[in-house]
A and B are shown apart, each in its own frame.
Chain A
Amino acid sequence: MKDLKIFNEDDFPKYLPKLNSLYDDLFSSGKGFRSKLIQMMGKNLRLTTRQEHLLAQTIEFIHNASLLHDDLIDRSPLRRSKTAAWLKYSPEYAVLAGDYLLARVMVNLSRYGNLRLIQYTAEIISDLLEGEWIQDSLVRDWNVQLMQLDQVHDLKTASLFKWCFRAPFIAQENYDERLHQTLEEMGTLLGLLFQRGDDLLDFDIRNDEGKALLGDLKSGYLNSFAAFLARDFSEMKKQKLRGCQTLDEVKELVGLEAFNHAVQEFDEMNTQVIGLYEHKAKSLEEFLPPEQRGLINDFMGLPSVLYFRRAK
């Protein structure tokens, strides 16, 4: 799937100092798989180029706004192996640049004129912010459990997947309630799987993209796999886990066999989630006309890419 150009310098005023270079840094290195999801939807639903571009830009703007704010909240020095915007420019600029992207989303959608799309997008942004807010309260909470993290990830991560699935139908003015409900549920499950797959990268599981290891743990955050791994740990063992600086230290603490067993159990648990996701994807046949049913096949391939990180 070809890369869509999300950011164009002409989209933003040139008289604002540093804004364009900040966005240039931000958008130049992302994988943009949310916009690729939109392209996948667009291909099957036969969206117009304008619709596809608007939706892809919207989701990437929202996602990148959240990254700008996230990095500042977490005091994270790096974003995609480059200096984070709040450090390279200033915290004030990072906040304002994030806010500006969200404002731009509303301007673009208002111009398009689909009121339901505007309303739904605003709801998703609210969910995202709620998730950010709650997640911040869980930093240095070393007893947090997977169930609680799932609820945060539903707001913070899955909300954008739900949007990617539903917004193209809304843009086409297809408001079938049961279709949207099914897509919403699929988005929830896929968001959960994506986040859990992403959290495994922290522990060098299927980390082909070379993500920095133990990033979450070092910044005081127990991610979903860490919470799963530590679910039966004593207080003392949890204390030791939070002090681990390398993956070898974690494996030594847990024991290599126990670590591998935990990964296997985690995968088995998520395979059940994939089963549920596939059940929902198949049920879409009821709602989609024959020419759009290719979407079901595309949907079926997503967990493999997003959880098991297999290249498509």
Chain B
Amino acid sequence: MSSEFITLTREDPEFESYLLGTFSDKERAIPVETYHAQTYRERVTFRIVPIDKLSAPPWWTIYFWSCRPELLALTLGPSFAAWLNHPSSLSAWERWPSWLALVGIFFLHTAAFLYNDVQDHVHGADRLNRRRGSQVIQKGWSSAAAMKKWALVNLGLAVLFGLPAFMSAPVALAGVCLTAFLALTVVMKNWGSRWGLCDLALLLLFGPLLTMGIALASFGETNLQDVALGVAFGAMTVWVFQVRQFEDLFRSKPENFRTFLGRLNFDKARLACVVEGFILLGLHPSVGVMVRVPLLFLMILPLVSIPSILLMNRLFKAASPLSSSLVGSSRWALLSHLAWTLWWLAALGTAWL
């Protein structure tokens, strides 16, 4: 029984090949236990399983789950919202760069989350927490090396589709891309995460930079409303990420020490998540008034707020970082995001009718 396991440390020369899945063509190394992740003392025990005994689903199912469909609203939501926020450009509806920009965003989303899955696997986050990521690598359905290749293919497709759209406003978009690059560097390098700089960078990436970028790529113009929309979406996305960090506060202690929420104690972190939820409940209608969404949509706001309020209640009820009320909080946060996204798309979409 025990011969199927192998334990390797970061110092072992084969460590990386087992982690990336390049050690064999016929077998897969499934990580079953990780200690001291992200340190030089890291030790991982793998179970070695022949690939033909894995009963992996067909490649398109793997690709579907790797695309992280549950997170599509985080990227496509603000993109569509920015697109719909320009009803005066109705004539541009049929312009192909605007469609290409959206397709490009889809591939960029896929590339980013495929790469993120690889990074989280290599760094240990997805090995420590079996609820994180797509778990495609951890289940042995695909190797990390193959996922990395898929990420590059998707990035290539994103560039291919995004390039014609880029020509709509090359100078302004170059500025957006440069800022996005800087924000991405802040996130990847974890700069200033203890003071919330990473969260701010995420807000920009999933918010104003995305909405402004899409507006520029689709219609060659952007406005203050795009920025406001971006702030509303970006803040919502940061909340989703923070709720996930809060849910994982205990499990990934070393990782969390480097985040804004991880710096706070449990009670303060819980309070911060709840207060941010309240702020969002006020932020969306305020931006809604600013972009002049129809009154009917402002009236149904209490309904749209239900998932957020239920989530805030779950967070508030959590007696400790291991409370069952926290289990699945990140799914509730995604549901809240989806509810707001659908509200925005419906509210902005009516102007096109």
Interface residues of A (CB under 8 A from B): 133-134, 137-138, 141-145, 147-148, 151-152, 177-178, 181-182, 184-185, 275-276, 278-280, 282-283
Contact = CB atoms under 8 A, between A and B. Distances in A.
22 contacts: A134-B320, A137-B320, A141-B323, A141-B324, A141-B325, A143-B325, A145-B327, A147-B130, A148-B322, A151-B322, A152-B322, A181-B35, A181-B43, A185-B33, A185-B45, A275-B1, A275-B4, A275-B5, A276-B33, A276-B45, A278-B1, A279-B7
B43 A134 contact: no
B327 A276 contact: no
A23 B7 CA distance: 43
Contacts of B320: 133-134, 137-138
Interface in B1-44: 1-5, 7, 9, 32-33, 35-36, 41, 43
Contacts of B251: 151
B141 interface: no
B316 interface: no
Nearest to A142: B324
B297 interface: no
A143 B327 contact: yes
A148 B32 CA distance: 17
B250 interface: yes
Contacts of A280: 7, 45
Contacts of A278: 1-2
B324 A143 contact: yes
A258 to B, nearest CB: 22
B178 interface: no
Given A137-B320, A177-B41, 13 more contacts: A133-B320, A134-B320, A134-B321, A138-B320, A141-B323, A143-B324, A143-B325, A144-B322, A144-B323, A151-B251, A181-B35, A184-B35, A276-B5
Contact of A134 (B2, B32, B322): B322
B323 A181 contact: no
Given A151-B250, A177-B41, A185-B43, A137 B7 contact: no
B133 to A, nearest CB: 16
Interface residues of B, number: 25
B279 interface: no
B301 interface: no
Interface in B302-324: 319-324
A133 B321 CA distance: 11
Nearest to A133: B320
A141 B327 CA distance: 12
Nearest to A300: B2
B137 to A, nearest CB: 19
Nearest to B250: A151
Nearest to B321: A134
A9 to B, nearest CB: 40
Contact of A138 (B9, B45, B322): B322
Contact of A276 (B32, B41, B130): B32
Contacts of B35: 181, 184-185
Contacts of B3: 279
Most central of A178, A279, A280 by chain B CB within 10 Å: A279
A133 B36 CA distance: 23
Contact of A145 (B1, B5, B45, B324): B324
A276 to B, nearest CB: 6
Given A181-B35, A279-B7, A144 B41 contact: no
A43 B327 CA distance: 45
Contacts of B319: 137-138, 141
Interface string B39-77: 001010100000000000000000000000000000000
Contacts of B130: 147
Given A138-B322, A151-B250, A178 B9 contact: yes
A275 B325 CA distance: 33
Given A275-B1, A278-B2, A283 B7 contact: yes
A280 B3 CA distance: 10
Given A178-B9, A185-B43, A279 B324 contact: no
Contacts of B45: 185, 276, 279-280
B112 to A, nearest CB: 28
Given A141-B319, A275-B2, A275-B5, A148 B324 contact: yes
Contacts of A147: 130
A278 B35 CA distance: 17
Nearest to A277: B2
A282 B323 contact: no
Contacts of B321: 134
Nearest to A227: B324
A137 B320 CA distance: 6
B124 to A, nearest CB: 15
Nearest to B326: A148
A138 B7 contact: no
Contacts of A142: 324
Contacts of A133: 320
Contact of A148 (B41, B43, B327): B327
A256 B1 CA distance: 31
A152 B323 CA distance: 11
- The list of the 9 closest CB pairs from A to B, nearest first, reads A137-B320, A143-B324, A279-B2, A275-B1, A279-B5, A137-B319, A148-B322, A278-B2, A144-B324
Contacts of B4: 275
A181 B2 contact: no
Contacts of A182: 7
A182 B35 CA distance: 10
Contacts of A148: 322, 324, 327
Contacts of B327: 143, 145, 148
